[in-house]
Amino acid sequence: MTAAWYHLRLVALRQAVVAPVLVYLGLVAAVYASDAGPPVAAATVTAAALMPVTAWLYRLVATAESPPFADITLVRLHGAARRQLVWTNSTVLLAAALAGAGMLWAGVANPYPYPARIVAVIAILHMVQAFAGVGLGCLVSRPLPVRAGAAVLVVTAVVIASLILRWLPPLGPMLSAFYGNQTRSAQVASLAEAAGFAVALVGTGWALARRTT
Amino acid sequence: MLRAVDLRVGPGELLVVGGPNGSGKTTLLKVAAGVLRPTVGRVTRAGPVGYLPQTGAEPPPRLTAATWLSFVCRNSDLPQPLDLLAALGGPSPASPLAALSGGSLAKVLLSAALSGGPGLVVLDEPFAALDARSRTVAAGLIGQAAQQGSAVLASDHEGGLTQFASATVELTDGALVPRPASVPGPGWRLVVAESGGAAREVVVDCAERDRTLLGVLSAGGQVLGVEELR
């Protein structure tokens, strides 16, 4: 059994993923309850929602085992770096499934054509935000000693700040560029900023984890 | 906190770490296994590591012993964990981990740890939750792991590994104090009285201590004194 599959199985058996999955699908349902507008603009909203949900999922994956069992898994995976890679892989798989469900919902419910190019753009939007969520999750999860309440506050604060300050990645620039229908170069720049934000957070999280573990 | 700990466990060796509560044994074993990083110094491990933490853990819900072992143990050339579990008299592999007693769960964890080598096997109080019969079997399996080439590092309050140990060290306030290798010589002075008989004094080694005490008590005798000779 691969380590990623093992962790997915753990969170499924704990039924811990039910809450974030329902929250995300509920938001997707709300967005597409009526005419949501052009496909990319509508998908920008669901992609933005995927960011905090992915951070939540990352924390659930990272805390799926109680400490002594987690210690055995850490030894089995030969260290904190590989364990965080496994947590990242597991979380990205969950986020990709949610993104796929959201895109499928959009294709069925939104009365606009969804050619392959548009679908690819929407997929990129979602996965960039998912990686940003992973990065944020790294900073509010094990092995860093962050309590659940503090984690919720941090994620909420980042979401609100990025929505208010439109220049602050990962959400602000992407929403401005894609929802505001800006130029293609601005759109690409917003995705690059979000990706850079994700890489910086993941790198910081890994560095802190190596010092902690 | 550990201070100036310099330790080497080679293939085929079984090193037992003793010491009072809070002396740093669990920390030392976590550092050796790779659960904790030393703030100063370095740890070098050859080969894969099997690790048994202290029990008392909340197991993952609805996960069977077999499923968990299939994830934790991947080395096919090692003793199969299910064989080890059977040898220990452990629970059925189909049992959910969360439904197991403390002793049964300890057997599953020990099976995994002994299958995790053959590089290094780190065991933190492997007998803590086991009954008397299982302790004997477990001690034999741990000794066998060392004989087959694993480097075994274990803490042991029960004295069950003494007869297999290549060496024992004492940890006091985070610092290692070497002790002579396991000598089966005098270790315990026992004052016992057989049922209806006079009190007598015997000096036995650690391995013989429990057997003597058990024999006296099960024959209706009394134990009047137990003293460790240093």
Look at residue B40 in the predicted model and tell me its pLDDT. Answer: 87
Q: Is B37 on the interface with A (CB under 8 A)?
A: yes
Say which of A14, A68, A75 has its CB closest to residue B49: A75
Convert the pLDDT of each residue in A85-106 to its tens digit.
Answer: 999 999 999 999 999 999 999 9
Kindly report the pTM of this predicted structure: 0.81
Q: Please state the rounded mean pLDDT for residues A30-35.
A: 93
Look at residue A44 in the predicted model and tell me its pLDDT. Answer: 93
Q: What angle do CA B87, B161, B37 make, to 5 degrees?
A: 95
Look at residue B227 in the predicted model and tell me its pLDDT. Answer: 79
Task: Match 């049922």 to its residue by tokens.
Answer: B195
Look at residue B180 in the predicted model and tell me its pLDDT. Answer: 52
Decide: B111 and B69 in contact? Cβ < 8 Å. yes
Please answer yes or no on whether B35 and A66 come within 8 Å at the CB atom. Answer: no
Look at residue A103 in the predicted model and tell me its pLDDT. Answer: 95
Look at residue B119 in the predicted model and tell me its pLDDT. Answer: 86
Percent of the residues in chain A that have a pLDDT greater than 90, as a whole number: 61
CA distance B223 to chain A (A): 38
Q: Which residues of B touch A74 (CB under 8 A)?
A: 34-35
Single-letter amino acid, residue A197: F
Please answer yes or no on whether B71 and A76 come within 8 Å at the CB atom. Answer: yes
Look at residue B79 in the predicted model and tell me its pLDDT. Answer: 62
Look at residue B202 in the predicted model and tell me its pLDDT. Answer: 76
CA distance B50 to chain A (A): 7
Higher pLDDT: B224 or A17? It is A17
Look at residue B226 in the predicted model and tell me its pLDDT. Answer: 83
Give me chain A's average pLDDT, please.
91
Please answer yes or no on whether A69 and B71 come within 8 Å at the CB atom. Answer: no
Element (H, E) at A128: helix A116-139
Tally C-beta pairs within 8 A across A and B. Answer: 66
CA distance A1 to chain B (A): 5
Secondary structure percentages of chain A, helix, strand, coil, to 5: 80, 0, 20
Please answer yes or no on whether A68 and B56 come within 8 Å at the CB atom. Answer: yes
Instruction: Report the residue of B36, B63, B114 to disrupt the A interface, i.e. the one with the largest count of A CBs within 10 Å.
Output: B63
Omega before A170 within 30 of 0, i.e. cis: yes
**CA terminus-to-terminus distance, chain B:** 26
Please answer yes or no on whether A68 and B72 come within 8 Å at the CB atom. Answer: no
Going across the sheet that includes B188-193, the strands are B199-204, B188-193, B222-228
CA distance A91 to chain B (A): 18
Look at residue B117 in the predicted model and tell me its pLDDT. Answer: 62
pLDDT tens for chain B, 230 residues: list them: 788 788 889 999 999 998 888 888 999 999 999 998 888 888 888 888 899 998 666 788 888 998 888 888 876 555 678 888 999 998 999 999 989 988 899 999 999 999 866 789 999 999 888 888 888 899 999 998 898 889 999 998 777 788 888 888 888 888 887 665 544 555 777 888 877 777 777 777 777 788 788 888 888 888 888 877 76
Look at residue B78 in the predicted model and tell me its pLDDT. Answer: 54
CA distances from A202 to A143, B51, B191, B209 (A): 13, 28, 64, 55
Q: Which residues of A touch B36 (CB under 8 A)?
A: 213
> Chain A residues with CB-CB distance to B under 8 A?
1, 3, 6, 9-10, 13-14, 64-69, 71-76, 78-79, 210-211, 213
ipTM reported for the complex, 2 dp: 0.79
